[in-house]
Amino acid sequence: MDAQIRDGLLLMILLIISIGLHEFGHAWMADLRGDPLPRLQGRVTLNPFAHTDPIGTIAIPAIAIFLPILLSLKWSIMLIGWGKPVQISLPNPKTRRMDDIYITLAGPAMNLVLCLVFAVIGGLGNFDPKTQVVITDFLGKGIVLNAGLVVFNLIPIPPLDGSRLALRLGLYSEELFMTVARWGFIILLMLVNFAPFQLAMGYARALVATPWFALWDLLS
């Protein structure tokens, strides 16, 4: 159980870092596009705890990770989590649509950057044999987790990033977006417990993660 708790703690650390940098991506791009609100609210920072939501980043993931371990359950709980949303004002009417698209895409893009970082460290790292297994496991889980965050966040259901893209690309009307947003959390809760959805998510996550593991092997 000690090894399981250690792995659980490492996964929690990964999740806090990954979600924090995802939200930083939104804030950084908003700042770059001339939106003053994220900087005024202290969100243009690499400190992951500035982007941490007590429920979505800590409590719910901790339950999903540690409850099966502590109760010796033979089944696992699907790991989901979210950070504190970055508030934006989109002050420039002429560029508002593209600003929103860039800001929205910057979150998942940051997760892809993390996949790249983990793959390069894994491929080029010269690790002590005593800690090699733990480090490579940490890096591998980092790639898988961030690939999963990319896929999950691009689902076109509010409040996920994919819904903002769908709205700005004209796939949602404002009215439809607001209607779906009222039920978004319930819809997502049902989906994550739906076996075919979990299977599809697994395939999509593997599709995103595979090139980064290939890069890891190439650099080794």
* Residue closest to 40 by CA, chosen among 91, 87, 82: 87
Name the residue among 152, 193, 164, 213 with its Cα closest to residue 19.
152
CB 123, CB 117: distance < 8 Å? no
Task: Summarize the chain as % helix, strand, coil (round to 5).
Answer: 70, 0, 30
**Count of C-beta atoms within a 10 Å radius of residue 33:** 19
Instruction: Say what the pLDDT of residue 3 is.
Output: 80
For residue 48, what pLDDT band results from cuts at 50, 70 and 90?
Answer: very high
Let me know: does 137 contact 118? Beta carbons within 8 Å.
Answer: no
pTM here is: 0.93
Long-range contacts of 200-203 (CB under 8 A, 24+ apart): 201/148, 201/151, 201/152
Per-residue pLDDT tens digits for 74-97: 667 778 889 999 999 999 999 999
What does the pLDDT read at residue 1? Answer: 63
State both tokens at 161: 């990033």
pLDDT tens string 178-189: 999 999 989 998
| pLDDT tens digits, 93-118 | 999 999 999 999 999 999 999 999 99
Backbone angles phi, psi at 7, to 5 degrees: -65, -35
